[in-house]
Structure 1
Amino acid sequence: MTDHVNIDVNEELAEAKVGRLHKWLGVMMATLTLFDGYDTFNPAYVIHYVAGPWGLAPGQAGFLVSSGLVGFLIGAGVHGIVADRVGRRATLLGGLWITSVFTLATPLFGDSFVMFCTLRVLTGLGLGVLLPLATTYINELAPRRVANTFSLWGVAFGWALGGTMAGLVGVFLTPLFGWKVLYWIGSLSIPLTIALHFCLPESVKFLALKGRIEDIRALLTRLRPERAEVYRNARLVVTGAATQRNPVAALLRPQTRRTTLTIWLAAFLSLFCIFGLTGWIPTVMMKRGETFAASFGFGALMQIMSFAGGLACGYLADRRGSSRSVLATWWALGGLSVLSLVFLDGHVVNIVCTAAAGFFVIGAQYVLNNFTARSFDTNVRATAVGMMLSVGRFGAILGPFVVGTLQQVSAGPMPMFVLIGCASIVAAIAIASLAARPAPTREAAVLHVHG
């Protein structure tokens, strides 16, 4: 008589040790999001060079930063539906190709305000895929006990490093070669795209939803080689949850509506703060008496500190078993650090408060990405992360534009600091209002193993 042992695919992934393939996949996602972070933040270093020659008002200069986010909003909103149907791998590669091609086109053809913004919108269509889908992808592989930390190293590290690189290129290379060098370097994502075609596997949980049994067997064996013999002799039976016909509507059903809307509000406010501040930080710091190099360096400082803040936030969330209270604390402290710039001035104050804003405000956003991914079932997870970032991008688009308009009206950065500081504190209150971290239902996908 043959005994049957049921092995839950979800548990197989959650209980895995971080092995060689986990690390390799983390490196691939970090490299991918490096180009995302680099491209997202480099328009802040273009303003200084084109505002005068193109005759831009502060509001137009703000839109120069926001234009890529318009495309991002569309890409983030649509990609999740596509990824939940055709797979994470194909959608990620498609987004990376769009980003790479239009990044290369920017220095070739972006010689006017209108053409630059048009190319930024088209680039944003691809960028809207990369960060949310990389977050979904890495969360579906992350072992449970290090879920936030693993996801941060696999996604946030690359994004923060890319933003830091944009600042370094802005400081050291744009004075020599002009603003176009930012995009020549960004087009190096093309070799990465070609390489990922050959080595990026599909998500295990997506394979389970589609019933691709042999592909699951092969990939699980690579993820957990110590159980290779078990998988080799297993009869895999997958009874995963059905793909949602309308995954956006599924996010707004009564059981998840409050969580969804609260996450959307927090994302809107968080990204309003992040892009309103990072888009204008070089310009604002020059107005506060900093040198050109130092002012551009503040953008890099924020990105460096953001990763440290994300790691600390993720570590505490893993230790506590909940991200909600840690996120609320991070946004509240970030808001207070920005508000401090209203009352205090000086080089050291600028450094400390900017570093704290990056540590807390941007650091919390990384963990919000993971919090969202782990709050919903696999069959709507990519849509959930994409919609969260898509709604958040409304805030990201408004941030630089509103900040630019405020400076035009007030002739100073103080109203900007008040607005951004208060918005971060409201985000903290919103996320704290959730009663507890929501838990997604467990996928029913199982492996039936002959004992």
Structure 2
Amino acid sequence: MNDHEIDVHEELASARVSGFHLRLGLVMGLLTLFDGYDTFNPAYVIHYVAGPWGLKGGQAGLLISSGLIGFLVGSAVHGVLADRFGRRGTLLAGLWITSIFTLLTALFADSFASYCLLRLLTGLGLGVLLPLATTYINELAPRRVANTFALWGVALGWALGGTLAGIAGVFATPIFGWKALYWIGSLSFVLLPILHVQLPESPKFLMLRNRQAEIKRLLARLRPDRAALYADAQLSALPPVQSSNPVLALLSAKYRRTTVSIWLSAFLSLFCIFGLTGWIPTVMMQRGETFSASFAFGALMQVMSFIGGLVVGHLIDRFGASRRLLALWWSVGGVSVLALIVSSAHVVNLTAIALAGFCIIGAQFVLNNFTANSYETDVRATAVGMELSIARVGAILGPLLAGVLQQLYQSSTPMFVAIGLAAIGAGAIILFAERPSSEPMPRTKPPFPAVSGSSPDSASATAGPRW
């Protein structure tokens, strides 16, 4: 019998991207596609229901925010459940809830009250999908492409979903009415049997539960070239300190500065994202754009968001300095939104909205990965869930405040000022967070030679300042 010992964390981190990695990334992408689609389609409902339902600016904002209230609850609760009972079952439950209440919205939402109630219940499921998919894919992504792989596996799906919501808004709603958005969204039922068959449990969660046989089978699929080695190996991992209350653990001395910085930046980031995306179609029509162009601006933001996230994620994977790059991205996005105050010309609208998607939403994608990599396995799902839960408070307030400001001032200018300044503030605050331990150090020459026999990680930990 072979008595060699294998470190599970290192096996996952040092792996090449295999076919099984790609299949899991595709499944996560499909999962978050429906999340992104469902999250952004209320922006295309306002145009059709504001008049018939007699909605004022604040009520229209609540129509957008109602699903986000449910998302807040779902994202806060799911992390504790996923850290205790597993990622796989919690993801499946989230998709079932989302699918069922999306279908019920298409069938029974015929008033402001019924729509908001059904959206709130849908949000309970949506609050599971994006944060837990982010946790899941970060727990199996190879270290050298962690951000890039997570962006292709999660952010692309979410951005495509938001883009499809815009396309459906432009082409389907004029013919079939706004409920067509939810009939299309209910196609998520098709994904459920695929997930039940294809989705394994997270390897790092399995390690926490010491389910060695399942870990070996999963590692063999992730790294088929080493499958024979795993058969008789003893698997090991540095056991994290279990916390009876993972939410309180996020505010312990070990994590406090990072947690507070992430929460505040995420709050401001989603305030900007949902304040802007929720009102862009309506505001652009007020600025003289056509119906089709106004609805297409939402799709443009989503396309540019993925490109922006991919660029900043690649830069972070290559050079580190995640906090500085995130700060730069949010700041440029904030300035682009402020530019909308100066002119309402088509070229300004187009450029500013494209940059806002590229920078603000792109940075948010990477912030989710930054969060997942800043915490240990036993609190990681809770950390990502709490980040997006706190952020959803900002997401709820964004459309509400944008609607109230437009109602009070009869202008979109105060809305753009609030969103632009909030994006710049998010960039400033993230600089106070700690650098994730899994992030590569900047490529600078260390001031002292590495001690013989020491690991690269230990050398980088003592050479030069932390970023």
TM-score by length of 2: 0.92
C-alpha contact (below 8 Å) 2:8/2:236 kept by paired residues: no
Shift of 1:320: 1.1
User: How far did residue 232 of structure 1 move?
Assistant: 1.3
Q: Which range is displaced more, 240-249 or 52-61?
A: 240-249
The residue matched to 1:252 in structure 2 has which SS?
coil
Letter paired with 1:371: F
Amino acid across the alignment from 1:137: Y
Distance in structure 2 (CA, Å) of the matches to 1:429 and 1:412: 28
| Separation of aligned partners in 1, 2:303 and 2:107 | 30
C-alpha distance in 2 between matches for 1:252 and 1:241: 16
Cα distance in 2, alignment partners of residues 28 and 426 from structure 1: 35
Structure 1, unaligned stretches of length 5 or more? 443-451
- What's the CA shift for 1:437? 3.9
Matches within 5 A, 1:210-249: 210-237=209-236, 240-249=239-248
C-alpha distance in 2 between matches for 1:8 and 1:44: 47
Match for residue 383 of structure 2? Answer: 384
Moved more, 314-323 or 177-186: 314-323
Aligned-partner Cα distance in 2 for 1:78–1:293: 39
Structure 1 residue aligned with 2:160: 161
Comparing 226-235 with 156-165, which one deviates more in the overlay?
226-235
User: What is the aligned partner in structure 2 of residue 183 from structure 1?
Assistant: 182
Q: Distance in 2 between matches of 1:228 and 1:322?
A: 35
2-structure distance, mates of 1:91, 1:437 = 26
1:330 aligns with 2:325: no
Q: Which residue of the partner structure matches residue 279 of structure 2?
A: 280
CA displacement at 1:237 relative to structure 2: 5.0
Give the distance between the partners of 2:63 and 2:21, measured in 1 at CA. 38
- Map of 1:82 onto structure 2: 81
Question: Which position in structure 1 is the counterpart of 2:60?
Answer: 61
Aligned-pair CA distance for 1:434: 3.1
Kindly report which structure 2 residues correspond to 1:251-270, keeping only aligned pairs within 5 A, or say none: 251-270=250-269
CA distance in 1, matches of 2:434, 2:165: 39
Q: Secondary structure at the match of 1:16?
A: coil
The offset of 1:107, in angstroms, is 1.2
Aligned AA for 1:390? S
Distance in 2 between residues matched to 1:143 and 1:425, nearest whole Å: 32
Superposed CA RMSD: 1.5
Aligned to 1:357: 356
Matches within 5 A, 1:3-402: 4-237=3-236, 240-402=239-401
User: Does structure 2 retain, via aligned residues, the 8 Å contact 1:376–1:439?
Assistant: no
- Which residue in 2 is equivalent to 1:449? none
Taking a change above 3 Å as real, the CA distance of residues 238 and 315 of structure 1, as seen in their structure-2 partners, is closer
The aligned amino acid for 1:143 is P
Distance of 1:110 and 1:89 partners within structure 2: 31
2:311 is matched by which residue type in structure 1?
A
Query: Partner amino acid for 1:119?
Result: L
Matches of 2:95 and 2:152, distance apart in 1: 20
Structure 2: gaps spanning 5 or more residues: 440-456, 459-467
Q: Using the TM superposition, give the Cα deviation of residue 82 of structure 1 relative to its aligned residue in structure 2, in angstroms.
A: 0.1
SS in 2 for 1:244: coil
Report the CA distance between 1:235 and its aligned residue.
3.1
Cα shift at 1:319: 1.1
Distance of 1:435 and 1:231 partners within structure 2: 35
* 8 Å contact from structure 2 (residues 86, 201) kept in 1: yes
Report SS of the residue matched to 1:102.
Answer: helix
Residue 234 of structure 1: how far off its partner (Å): 1.5
Give, in angstroms, the shift of residue 329 of structure 1: 0.5
Structure 2 partner of 1:423: 422
Aligned position for 1:411: 410
Question: One-letter code of the match for 2:108?
Answer: F
CA contact (8 A) 2:4 2:234 kept: no
For residues 163-220 of structure 1, the C-alpha deviation after alignment (integer angstroms, 9 at most, x for no partner) is: 0000000001100000000000000000101221111000000000001010001000
The answer on whether the counterparts of 1:84 and 1:243 sit within 8 Å (CA) in structure 2 is: no
Residue 348 of structure 1: how far off its partner (Å): 0.8
* Residues 82-109 of structure 1: per-residue CA shift (max 9 Å, x gap): 0000000000000000000000000111
Tell me how far apart the structure 1 counterparts of residues 410 and 58 of structure 2 sit (CA, whole Å): 13
Does the 8 Å CA contact 1:85/1:243 hold for their aligned counterparts?
Answer: no
Give the partner amino acid of 1:421: G
Kindly state the Cα deviation for residue 255 of structure 1 after the two structures are TM-superposed.
1.4
Whole-angstrom CA distance in 1 between matches of 2:317 and 2:155: 16
CA deviations over 1:331-369 (Å, ceiling 9, x no partner)? 000000000111122011100000000000000000000
Q: 1:239 to 1:268 in 2, by over 3 A?
A: closer
Counterparts of 2:388 and 2:410, CA distance in 1: 31
C-alpha separation in 2, matches of 1:186 and 1:422 = 34
With normalisation by structure 1, the TM-score equals: 0.96
Q: Which amino acid aligns with 2:119?
A: R
Distance 2:375 2:300 in 1: 34
One-letter code aligned to 1:165: L
Q: Secondary structure at the match of 1:236?
A: strand
Residue equivalent to 1:446: none
CA distance in 2 between counterparts of 1:104 and 1:233 reads 49
Return the alpha-carbon distance in structure 1 between the equivalents of residues 239 and 214 of structure 2. 15
Equivalent-residue separation in structure 2 for 1:250 and 1:425 (angstroms): 29
Q: How much has 1:58 moved relative to structure 2?
A: 0.8
Q: Could you say what secondary structure the match of 1:188 adopts? A: helix
